[in-house]
């Protein structure tokens, strides 16, 4: 039997593919992971459309009980639903690897991801460098990795996507303003300064949803915007082709 890893897209219950839905309807057990991203609807809405009980799997369930879930897929079909696409969070690559190493059949059903939805900004996906994750501030463990990634990408003229920390269990989601505060904090610890108040950045919220929001402006302009409900991300463009900039400028009006 098979372990199905199914991307369910970025917004609501209707973003699952027809292929994904058919598998969900026939699987013995269906889990949805709720810790690497959030949908705009609750699990009840998934259950209504799918006509199935959907169990919420916390990080601990997937990371600790992952072995059990994989083992159960030996005798029966098990589906794990992932918000966005399957491999845009490291946990799911780990699950995939463990299942393959255990000799369990794994089938992946892809869907839209934040990693490609950012194309809506006009920035070319081909010109993005390494993605950075901005973690919640911790005075004990200050982190500079996002800043280092940004410096390296900028040197190569590449754009940088910054994913923002979240803890759906406690409903804590980093906002774009908070991420900019974190970047400024990292910058203070450095000798070379790469971000300024007038650095051009792009804020994106709820990409893939009807109420998605994209705003292009300077760091200090974007920092002041309330983008509303999560999830959101921040992009720092590198060298832009005039076409990329032309599309981005259409989002100026949203400031
Ligand atoms: C760890 S990533 C998980 C990505 C997900 N598996 C996918 O394929 O889109 C989660 C982070 O991506 C960003 N993100 C995810 N979906 C988004 C969306 N629809 N709009 C803007 N940012 C999003 C947020 O910063 C969020 O905290």
Per-residue confidence at 63, pLDDT binned at 50, 70, 90? Answer: confident
User: Which residues make up the CATH 3.40.1010.10 domain(s) of the chain?
Assistant: 2-112
Interval between CA 201 and ligand 1 midpoint (Å): 18
Residue 72 has a pLDDT of: 92
Q: Is the confidence at residue 255, as pLDDT, over 70?
A: no
**How crowded is residue 137: how many other Cβ atoms within 10 Å of its Cβ?**
14
Question: Ligand 1 pocket, 113 CB below 6 A?
Answer: yes
CATH of the domain spanning 2-112, picked from 3.90.79.10, 3.30.1490.100, 3.40.50.1000, 3.40.1010.10: 3.40.1010.10
Percent of all residues in the chain with a pLDDT value above 70, rounded to a whole number: 99
pTM listed for this prediction: 0.95
Q: Is the CB of 232 under 6 A from ligand 1?
A: yes
Ligand 1 near 206 CB (within 6 A): yes
Fold for the domain defined by 115-254:
3.30.950
Would you say 50 and 25 are in contact if contact means Cβ atoms under 8 Å apart? yes
- How far is 136 from 230, CA to CA, in rounded Å? 15
Task: Give pLDDT, residue 44.
Answer: 97
Helices (H), ranges, 51-159: 59-64, 66-72, 90-101, 114-117, 145-155
Q: Which residues of the chain does CATH 3.30.950.10 include?
A: 115-254
Residue of 17, 32, 36, 37 best suited for mutating to test ligand 1, as the one with most atoms within 8 Å of CB: 37
Q: Please state, in angstroms and as integers, the Cα–Cα distance from residue 41 to each residue in 81, 116, 174, 210, following that order.
A: 14, 21, 19, 13
Name the closest-CA residue to atom 16, ligand 1: 114
* Ligand 1 pocket member 114 (CB < 6 A): yes
Q: Cα torsion for 208, 210, 214, 215, to the nearest 10°?
A: -170
Ligand 1 center–CA 103 separation, angstroms: 30
pLDDT digits (tens, 9 = 90+) for 186-202: 999 888 789 999 999 99
Reply yes or no on whether the pLDDT at 224 is more than 80.
yes
CA of 76 to the centre of ligand 1 (A): 30
pLDDT confidence bin for 236, thresholds 50/70/90? very high
């Amino acid at each position: 039997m098979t372990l199905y890893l199914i991307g369910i897209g970025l917004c609501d219950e209707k973003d699952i593919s027809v292929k994904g839905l058919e598998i969900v309807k026939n699987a013995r057990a269906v889990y949805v992971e709720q810790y690497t991203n959030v949908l705009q609807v609750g699990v009840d809405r998934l259950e209504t459309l799918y006509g199935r009980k959907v169990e919420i799997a916390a990080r601990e369930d997937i990371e600790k009980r992952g072995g059990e879930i994989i083992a159960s897929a030996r005798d029966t079909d098990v589906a794990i639903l992932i918000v966005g696409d399957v491999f845009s969070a490291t946990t799911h690559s780990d699950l995939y690897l463990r299942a393959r190493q255990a000799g369990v059949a794994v089938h992946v059903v892809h869907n839209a991801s934040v990693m490609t939805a950012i194309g809506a900004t006009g920035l070319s996906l081909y010109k993005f460098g390494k993605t950075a994750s901005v973690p919640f501030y911790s005075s004990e463990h200050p982190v500079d990795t996002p800043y280092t990634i940004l410096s390296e990408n900028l040197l190569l003229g590449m754009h940088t996507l910054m994913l923002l920390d979240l803890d759906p269990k406690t409903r804590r989601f980093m906002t774009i303003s908070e991420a900019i505060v974190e970047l400024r904090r990292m910058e203070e610890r450095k000798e070379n300064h790469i971000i300024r108040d007038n650095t051009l950045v792009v804020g994106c919220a709820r990409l893939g949803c009807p109420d998605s929001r994209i705003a292009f402006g300077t760091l200090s302009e974007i920092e002041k915007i309330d983008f509303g409900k999560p999830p959101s991300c921040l992009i720092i463009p590198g060298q832009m082709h005039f076409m990329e900039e032309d599309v981005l400028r259409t989002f100026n009006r949203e400031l």
